[in-house]
Chain A
Amino acid sequence: DIQMTQSPSSLSASVGDRVSITCRASQSISSYLNWYQQKPGKAPKLLIYSASSLQSGVPSRFSGSGSGTDFTLTISSLQPEDFATYYCQQSYSTPPTFGGGTKVEIK
């Protein structure tokens, strides 16, 4: 199975900050990397698929980049509603696997 490692596991930031979360795969996954946002008690929500494609309805302040083994989710200007946990997930091979999550907290 492909292992996904996210860093950091948590971060504190202020409204308006630029935030970046990284995800590393244990082997090359081309661009088959997806990002989800999860708020407490809620289901995950797809933000980015195929490394850089923005899911319909997701604000443009979210962006994704990378290929091969290293990927980044960037929030250009953090908003109050963005405080949540973010997960990466590879869809290159079965089983699909998730990173451990990055919790974005209010500073």
Chain B
Amino acid sequence: EVQLVESGGGLVQPGGSLRLSCAASGFTFSSNAMSWVRQAPGKGLEWVSAISGSGGSTYYADSVKGRFSISRDNSKNTLYLQMNSLRAEDTAVYYCAKRGSYSHWYFDLWGRGTLVTVSS
């Protein structure tokens, strides 16, 4: 089955760290660029970060640049998001998503999401 399954969310204090994982199956993971997209409670969608299939190129939203780090392990078919210096405004459901085109960032497969809550 073609799917993405996120894990690693939870409650963390402001200034803390968390690492999210996304396990992929049913497609050739290493051939596909991947992204993280988040959604704050009751709000819209916000792109967070992206990585090429090889892992050699990474991209970040200005709101997380310098605090978050995206990576992947193609031998494990797993995508990661390391989140440091977390703030209350990072509270959201975090989705991993597969890029649907070789050259343009739209997303044709999404995971169910994992909730990150930043609060003291």
Contact = CB atoms under 8 A, between A and B. Distances in A.
B104 A98 contact: no
A46 B100 contact: yes
B47 A45 contact: no
Contact of A91 (B37, B44, B62, B101): B101
A43 B101 contact: no
Contacts of B73: none
Contacts, number: 55
A67 interface: no
Q: How large is the interface on B (under 10, 10 to 19, 20 to 34, 35 or more residues)?
A: 20 to 34
B47 A96 contact: yes
Nearest to A100: B44
B108 interface: yes
Interface residues of A, number: 23
Contacts of B45: 36, 38, 44, 87, 89, 98, 101
A96 B106 contact: yes
A98 B46 contact: yes
A34 B44 contact: no
Interface string B35-46: 101000000111
Given A43-B95, A43-B113, A46-B100, A98 B47 contact: yes
- Secondary structure of the A contact surface, majority rule: loop
A74 interface: no
B109 to A, nearest CB: 8
B112 interface: yes
B106 A101 contact: no
Given A43-B112, A95-B59, A87 B104 contact: no
Interface of B: 35, 37, 44-47, 50, 59, 61-62, 95, 100-101, 104-108, 110-113
